[in-house]
């Protein structure tokens, strides 16, 4: 299966107090760490959706605009899928990560892509301690039309847009892979911004 990667960076970061994408952990911006996990896992190409385009360019990260800024993560997912659906070189799926993962892991990315072996599966969704990890899921590009239709009808959360899709949940993954940072106190001590 061929897969691409996308990191959503369009949030407002109100609780963090500064743009989460550019908060550094061990000297590396969180958005860069998420991109690196996707690349190491074999995603090609990898893009960043939304966010501060000039700062992302300074980091050397390819970026596309979020078609629906301020409309939540489903808009970012649709923007990523639409981007890859329109390319001449098609991919089967896109692994979508949030930009605020504390310890993004290429093993976590590989775990979701491995679960897409069944061609009938539309979305692979990690579930950790009964919490669905929508921003660490693999989405078939073919889900774009269904997601877009739900978005057009007012749906903004991914969990409400998958009713017609075949979602494969995976459990038992390392919970540290999915930990995010919403507040400064969620960050490890080695953080600098």
Average pLDDT, the chain: 89
Domain that holds residue 41: 3-187
Q: Does 69 fall in a domain? A: yes
Range scoring the smallest mean pLDDT among 2-16, 129-143, 164-178:
2-16
Q: Does the structure show a pLDDT above 60 at 15?
A: no
pLDDT at 160: 96
Here the tokens at position 59 are 């980091």
Q: Does 193 fall in a domain? A: no
Q: Does 150 fall in a domain? A: yes
* Number of domains present in the structure of the chain: 1
Which residues share a beta bridge with 47?
6
pLDDT at 66: 95
Q: Does 192 fall in a domain? A: no
Q: Does 113 fall in a domain? A: yes
160-192: pLDDT as tens digits = 999 999 999 999 777 777 776 654 555 565 444
Backbone angles phi, psi at 128, to 5 degrees: -125, 120
Torsion angle, CA of 164/153/78/109, rounded to 10 degrees? -40
Band the pLDDT of 18: cuts 50, 70, 90.
low
pLDDT at 184: 52
Alpha carbons within 13 angstroms on the beta-carbon side of residue 39 total 12
CATH code where residue 99 lies: 3.90.550.10
Q: Does 181 fall in a domain? A: yes
Type and span of the H or E element at 101:
none
53-64: pLDDT as tens digits = 999 999 999 999
pTM passes above 0.75: yes
pLDDT at 139: 98
pLDDT at 16: 45
In percent, the amount of the chain with pLDDT more than 70 equals 89
Here the tokens at position 154 are 């007012």
Q: Does the structure show a pLDDT above 70 at 49?
A: yes
Q: Does 72 fall in a domain? A: yes
Q: Does 32 fall in a domain? A: yes
């Amino acid at each position: 299966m061929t897969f691409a990667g996308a990191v959503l960076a369009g949030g407002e970061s109100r609780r963090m107090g500064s743009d989460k994408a550019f908060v550094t952990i061990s000297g590396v911006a969180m958005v860069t760490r998420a991109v690196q996990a996707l690349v190491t896992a074999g995603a090609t190409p990898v893009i960043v959706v939304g966010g501060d385009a000039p700062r992302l360019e300074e980091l050397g990260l390819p970026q596309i605009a979020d078609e629906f800024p301020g409309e939540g993560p489903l808009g970012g997912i649709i923007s990523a899928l639409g981007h890859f659906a329109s390319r001449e070189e098609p991919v089967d799926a896109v692994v979508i990560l949030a930009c605020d993962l504390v310890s993004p892991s290429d093993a976590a990315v590989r775990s979701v892509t491995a679960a897409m072996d069944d061609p009938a599966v539309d979305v692979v969704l990690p579930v950790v301690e009964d919490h669905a990890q929508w921003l660490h899921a693999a989405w078939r590009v073919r889900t774009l039309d269904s997601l877009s239709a739900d978005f057009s009808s007012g749906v903004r959360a991914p969990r409400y847009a998958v009713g017609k899709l075949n979602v494969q949940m995976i459990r038992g993954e390392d919970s540290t892979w999915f930990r995010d940072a919403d507040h400064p106190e969620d960050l490890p001590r080695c953080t600098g911004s």
